[in-house]
Amino acid sequence: MHEFELEYLNWIPLLWVCVFLIIMVLFIIIGKIFFRDDFDEMSEQGLPFYSGTSNKMLQLITASNLYWGFKHTLQSYFNSLNRLFISNLGDFIQWFIIIVAIMLLIITGALM
């Protein structure tokens, strides 16, 4: 008697596509049953949330202003990076090769 062998089950792509579709349908059905559907993107629900306030002026803050202190503190670091990387593809490739070479030296133990 031959038992049902599961060792070849993972090589049937059509079966895995069907399993994926069944899981997606179940997820959509469960989502329709249990999740709320009263979200209105055009009302205040769709506006950004800033630390519990609904002040209209705080919603006009851009990301550059939001992280101003972080950028100001690390300005010297960013300036040195700008001098190293001038948006030239050759520079990026050069630094990539240097970093990969150093990583390989560390991994293989040549620098230990």
pLDDT digits (tens, 9 = 90+) for 48-104: 666 655 666 665 666 666 677 777 888 888 888 777 766 778 878 888 899 999 999
For the stretch 15-35, pLDDT in tens is 889 999 999 999 999 988 888
Q: Is the separation of the CB atoms in 28 and 17 below 8 Å?
A: no
Q: What is the pLDDT of residue 63?
A: 64
Residue 6 pLDDT exceeds 50: yes
pLDDT of residue 1: 47
Nearest to 93 by CA among 101, 103, 81: 101
Give the whole-angstrom CA distance, residue 60 versus residue 43.
16
Rounded to two decimals, the pTM is 0.33
